[in-house]
Chain A
Amino acid sequence: MSAETIATIWAFLIATAVFLYVVMDGFDLGIGILFPWMQDREDRDIAVNTVAPVWDGNETWLILGGGGLFAVFPLAYATILPALYMPLIVMLLALVFRGVAFEMRFRAESDSQRRFWDWSFSGGSIAAAFTQGIALGALVQGIQVEDRAYAGGWWDWLTAYSLFTGVALVAGYGLLGASWLVWKTEGGLQERARDLARVLGLVTLLFIAAVSAIMPFLLPEFRARWFSFPTILLALPVPVLLVLLAVRFFRALEPTPAREAEAARAPDPRLPPEAPPRPTGRVIWHDSVPFFCALGFFLLSYVGLGISMWPLIVPPEITIWDAAAPASTQLFLLVGAAVLLPIILAYTGYVYWIFRGKVRAGEGYH
């Protein structure tokens, strides 16, 4: 394999890792983002319990994104991170707060302590999402590099556009969180999550439209990509699919005959009378559709971003091939990644399977 081919493979792998991070930590950060709209303590506990067994694995994709960038695109790592110094430091500290809050919420010994950790969880999640959005916006606007080092100032990341993408990502993660709760919970909490998902779905779609509309005008390279023939043939399906998916998303949030039938079903005689009937696989399937549609929004936006940036890794100038580590480095890690990533995906999927189904109150954590 040539060095260019290996670097191209790695670019796809790193992009995949970042995307997996975005969708997985996206929904668990989303739970924290939605905390202000979930005042009931039991609701909050259920919501946190839906992600408690998996959040740590979700966040590991962020380390793979950072570690992978260091290993295979070191020039990108060594220029993007100093350029985004402040937003990244704030993001890391925010993740510290909300990460420990998972444990501390349940260890709290008084209401004031619990409020502090709830606040940490929520504030940390919002700040992490916001700074990640800022980082994305600042990256696509371009980073000034001279002589293999960042050459800008420490406030360069702060622009109207990066703040805008920051808010957009908070809304987007909130949407993932809300639609995750539609999937994983029932009753009043699920109804509230449905309402939130409707609003956030609309807001997120508007943000996607606005960010996409501005993006081609940030750099001439982006514009060339989108408005030239034949690239436009490749790019055109993206907005079309997004519209179709949006329709599916909002329809899936309506109650359906399957659900009504479920509600009318006679209670299970083996269960105590006060317990609501156990949802069937069909209901769970139906409740999962909004979440997967929301993932679709993210995937299509991400593909759109990829079409704009390819093959740049640090706009406006550095391509993936400029930033690549020597071929022997990339190959050494690629051999392991080719074996290990499928295994990781398999056991991650298995862990999700173990913790499948709806989570109910008092269900056993801590």
Chain B
Amino acid sequence: MLWDAFPSALDLARFQFAFTVTFHFIFPAFTIGLASYLAVLEGLWLWTKREVYLDVFRFWLKIFAVAFAMGVVSGIVMSYQFGTNWSVFADRTAPVLGPLLGYEVLTAFFLEAGFLGVMLFGLGRVGKGLHFTATCLVAIGTLISGFWILSANSWMHTPAGYSIAPDGRFMPEDWWAIVFNPSFPLRFLHTITGAYLTTAMIIGAVAAWHLLRERLRAGMAVPAERLNERAKVMFSMAMWMAAAVAPVQAVFGDLQGLLAFRYQPQKVAAMEGHWETQRGAPLILFGFPDMEREETRMAVSIPRLGSLILTHEWDGEVRGLKAFPPEQRPTNVPLVFWSFRIMVAMGVLMIALGLISLWLRWKGRLYTTPWFLRFAIAMGPSGLIAVTFGWITTEAGRQPYTVYNLLTTAESVSPIAAPAVATSLAMFIVVYFVVFGAGTWYLFRLFGKTPAAHESDIAAEEPIRTAGITPAPQVARRGASGPGRHTVEQRG
């Protein structure tokens, strides 16, 4: 029967959540880092007075505006989806998770949204100091937002500070323990660092593309001094980021793996492709986890290294998936296994990029080595790929639970008929591909514009004049006396 082949409401709801959250996270992963980058650029401009920082700031500000808008609208969807599609989860966990999301709105979303307008349109309307404050507040807002949402997410992995009421609801007992639950601090560091690297990879690729294009246009090697100053600044900053932070990220990742090994051994077993419990377990590099046969076929492995990494002992015991009943194992082991490897591969490539950049910088060839510029361009999406597959690893690895070991995904879903969820899912897919496809296309157009000296502002293409309440002569005086202010009021 065709009807039997129709996915269940649960599967559809899961797919819808995975689809919308994956799409959504692409934008914050980029804008968290970009907001901080913009704050640094504006700070450098105010500090050094070098025009080049303002030009780079304006170049990325336009990109930020587009990416942030897409993050906001796809994020509103997320805040309602707990209720529309996961109403049992919402009812059970709200006493604990509700305030965390409430605080995210109160401390982060309003801050970002309120000062975004000043940041985007205010450079001609408010003083430099106030504008810089607005930029910093937006950047801080993105970090605070990450703080609360990752705390809530971490609590689902490592619940703490709660009790369970007779009707099955989770009741808060200790807010400190809830917010700073065991997996939260590292997850926060790992995610924010991932976001910074994501931004650095994109900035590095855009800068490398412009540097390489200058060379191709000239048909010969252009000396470094004559290359686009803005592109060089971007490229240099991005490569410093890769060199300094990519290795640190590997350490955070390793520590997070150890934490998961302690709290979510099934997940780690799936990541590693271990089925049998063993001492001196190997590290499986590649292979094909087979859930039917309960083994990882054609495994290529390094003896004992698995135990060494996870237990820091040559002979440490590593529990395999078979140590857990099938209904407590991740529902899609190959997905967890492969996603993890993709993330790690991206991390290794980023470390390599950073190290090579140090070598070339030392040799004075950072901006003029074509193969390296090509490598940096190819690495543009690597951060996004890494964070996406990192999240797939951790979230698919959390299955079959929403709240680890306490509430299953199957119990969490809303009582909504499959056809309704199928309809909404189809609408999401169509709308997201149209809207975010177009948005991404515009982003690429902005990436491709040569970063110019005296880069125009979003708002400064025409100086803004405050028509209205403020009496004209007073404003004209102020505009004339403050050289830093755009010559507000004198035209119009």
Contacts and interface: CB of A to CB of B under 8 A. Distances in A.
A359 B459 CA distance: 13
A361 B74 CA distance: 31
B83 A66 contact: yes
B124 A284 contact: no
Interface stretch (A73-81, A199-207, A240-248): A73-81
A262 to B, nearest CB: 12
Contact of A99 (B73, B462, B468): B73
A329 interface: yes
B87 A79 contact: yes
A263 interface: no
B117 A355 contact: yes
Interface in B388-432: 414-417, 419-420, 423-424, 427-428, 431-432
B94 A70 contact: yes
A59 B90 CA distance: 22
A364 interface: yes
A365 B469 contact: no
A9 interface: no
Given A103-B69, A149-B87, A332 B99 contact: yes
Interface string A61-92: 01110111111101101111110011011101
A150 to B, nearest CB: 6
A355 B115 CA distance: 12
B83 A363 contact: no
B188 to A, nearest CB: 19
Contacts of A281: 468-469
B492 A104 contact: no
Q: Which of B109, B427, B464 has the most CB of A within 10 A?
A: B109
A15 B107 CA distance: 20
Interface in B147-163: none
Contact of A100 (B73, B88, B91): B73
A235 to B, nearest CB: 32
Contact of B117 (A57, A64, A100): A57
Interface in A172-202: none
A102 to B, nearest CB: 6
B148 to A, nearest CB: 10
B438 interface: yes
Contacts of B95: 74, 325-326, 328-329
A81 B125 contact: no
A107 interface: yes
Contact of B416 (A52, A75, A154): A154
Interface in A280-339: 281, 284, 325-326, 328-329, 332-333, 336-337
B87 A63 contact: no
A107 B98 contact: no
A217 B87 CA distance: 30
Contacts of A356: 466, 468-469
A254 interface: no
Contacts of B420: 85-86, 154
Contact of B167 (A148, A332, A360): A148
B6 interface: no
B375 interface: no
B114 A351 contact: yes
Given A96-B77, A100-B73, A356-B466, A344 B87 contact: no
Interface in B122-155: 122, 124-126
A347 interface: yes
A79 B87 CA distance: 7
Contacts of A348: 110, 114
A36 to B, nearest CB: 21
Interface stretch (B296-304, B331-339, B360-368, B470-478): B470-478
A19 interface: no
B183 to A, nearest CB: 21
Nearest to B472: A278
Contacts of A266: none
Contacts of B280: none
Contacts of B250: none
A71 B102 contact: yes
Interface in A335-357: 336-337, 340-341, 344, 347-348, 351, 354-357
Contacts of A340: 106-107, 110
Contact of B76 (A79, A95, A150, A363): A95
Given A80-B83, A86-B424, A364-B461, A336 B106 contact: yes
Interface in B434-462: 435-436, 438-439, 442, 445-446, 458-462
Interface of B: 65-66, 69-70, 72-77, 79-80, 82-85, 87-88, 90-91, 94-99, 101-107, 109-110, 112-118, 120-122, 124-126, 167, 171-172, 175, 414-417, 419-420, 423-424, 427-428, 431-432, 435-436, 438-439, 442, 445-446, 458-470, 472-473, 476, 491-492
Q: What are the 5 A-B residue pairs with the smallest beta carbon separation, nearest first?
A: A357-B468, A71-B98, A81-B83, A74-B94, A53-B117
19 contacts: A56-B116, A57-B116, A59-B72, A69-B83, A78-B87, A81-B80, A96-B432, A99-B69, A100-B439, A104-B442, A149-B415, A153-B417, A328-B172, A344-B106, A347-B114, A355-B117, A355-B121, A360-B465, A363-B464
